[in-house]
Structure 1
């Protein structure tokens, strides 16, 4: 708990109110801070930005709501890690969609150690579960922390194998929710001996939309990701793709071509992932990355607030190019011929007005 934010200062509370605003996701959050210089200034600008986007002002949580959340976090023995502050995980801070606020229980210094994510099938074979547990144990003995998602199957095996040496469980719910229910004892033990990480406020149930967000945190926390059994189009492969996008190592354990649960891993290896048969293979793959890799979080604050750089003609032109089908922001810039800063400003206004949705890969569409 060395970096614990048990009581947030005024700027921390403003940051929490901003990220808890329904229309504000991580990308929008950082754009607002770069543009207005502080979370409080961004909060004050939200109504005007939404008006220019053609919608009502977004609903900002009242102070009482934030105070109740903070009290619930403290009651569960948790604390906040805010982006740009001490003990926020350096590797995660490098990613474009880093969560502005994490809620954690346990040892928040673990992410500073060498880390490997281990993910795989929920309905994994007995052989794969045994292999994952032993692999996690061997890595932990080498001083490597295992990151996983506390799901059934491979995730559970990875946590159990690394519990004594260091493990991080990233969950898709609030800290006070245990999912799957049979892992309640394991989640509590990780909170005592390792680290539990969530970006959701207490009381949040693990809805389907939260799991891709959880996967990006798993991939972002780790120097590399190992997949042990995964069907095509599984969540584990999403985590592996995110790791590749972040410039991290992707590794996979090969399996029988006759087992559908091995198809995802075999495909990853065919596409260039490192084939893994032992902890030594993983340690060797991570060596070029550097065992002591530490990057200070980049400042998200502008040196001075940036002026409004979009006019009404820009708004009409960009809105006309949008449709319900997702399109890359770079494509909007190319087709419109409008300065990137102006395009981003219009998209920000539309999003705060509830008229824009953001998708993976830097794509956007009309809501």
Structure 2
């Protein structure tokens, strides 16, 4: 889980970096000891602050007071398919009926400014999938998300929050969330007190798709956030479904384009069920830290300069960076860790990286 930034500068590794640090150094203790030095070598101009045990205890106490469990991948209540992701949250704040979140999920997303027909179809689809035993995952947003949640409450639905558990957005859905928690659940990777910002919603979307077997997009205009969810779902290896709409309705332009690009066209719950049934039989395997990863590996100054020189504001595929750098993947990943901890690197979907 991300931490609130207090003080001048705090070292806050994201989920992908967290996993890389554990893989690289072998333990959280060793990684913590090396964080300041890694950030300095990456170009950080001020020393970072490591959050103390007292900070952690305060966060745990506040979470318990709100009924939030902080879970790690593999623990009961942490959605199993979400735990498979390379950038799965190392700690996930979870509320509600934890057993529900262990069941197979289908995500339903779509326009906030949905048509009456879109709302009706989303509700019907969510109810039918819920009756078939699936938990419905969505983002608690207005429009399609709301319709999907409301009609699947009885069977279990999961709300994925963009902010902390105490900062619900939109605020008028506080009562809807309370109803969801009775038989379903809510998850967030953000700390308590975190008010969602525009950039948090695409990040939230990867959790919606990552927890599910597949994502259904009911209505989406061009450049819709739901299309971001569909793209992320495809990158994660999830099934992408789209509901066709009238060519005259701009709210269907994005879903119609998804179908042209290869998304599965659906008109009823049976279409979704038939597509995901083969996937449900496959075992879920969580990735464990690589015990053979080099510990405390030190890139040479020349390697570091060459790798940084190859990077720029245009996203570059990691495999291409390794090839062009002419060095080992371990060295490249170590330099990327240093840059990210210094706040100089941005990771994009599909294994792309760029300098900030």
Deviation string for 1:172-218 (max 9, x for gaps)?
01111121111110011112221001111111101111111110000
2:97 to 80, 83, 107: 107
Q: CA deviation at 1:236?
A: 0.6
Q: CA deviation at 1:19?
A: 12
User: TM-score when scaled to structure 2?
Assistant: 0.93
Q: Counterpart of 1:302?
A: 291
In structure 2, the residue corresponding to 1:118 is in which secondary structure?
strand
Q: Counterpart of 1:74?
A: 64
User: TM-score when scaled to structure 1?
Assistant: 0.90
Unaligned runs of 5+ in 2: none
2:337 to 327, 330, 348: 348
Unaligned runs of 5+ in 1: 1-14
1:95 to 80, 85, 105: 85
Deviation string for 1:99-118 (max 9, x for gaps)?
11100101222232221000
Q: Counterpart of 1:171?
A: 161
Shift in alpha-carbon separation, 1:73–1:189, aligned structure 2, 3 A: same
Aligned residues: 352
Question: C-alpha separation between the residues in 1 aligned to 2:43 and 2:36?
Answer: 11
Q: CA deviation at 1:300?
A: 2.5
Shift in alpha-carbon separation, 1:293–1:220, aligned structure 2, 3 A: same
Shift in alpha-carbon separation, 1:22–1:133, aligned structure 2, 3 A: farther
Indicate yes or no: 2:311 matched with 1:360: no
Q: CA deviation at 1:17?
A: 7.4
2:176 to 186, 201, 211: 186
Q: Counterpart of 1:271?
A: 261
Indicate yes or no: 2:119 matched with 1:129: yes
Deviates more, 1:45-54 or 1:198-207: 45-54
In structure 2, the residue corresponding to 1:244 is in which secondary structure?
helix
Question: C-alpha separation between the residues in 2 aligned to 1:335 and 1:164?
Answer: 54
2:240 to 233, 250, 258: 250
Deviation string for 1:319-363 (max 9, x for gaps)?
121223332222221212111111111111122223322233322
Question: C-alpha separation between the residues in 1 aligned to 2:230 and 2:283?
Answer: 22
1:140 to 130, 144, 156: 130
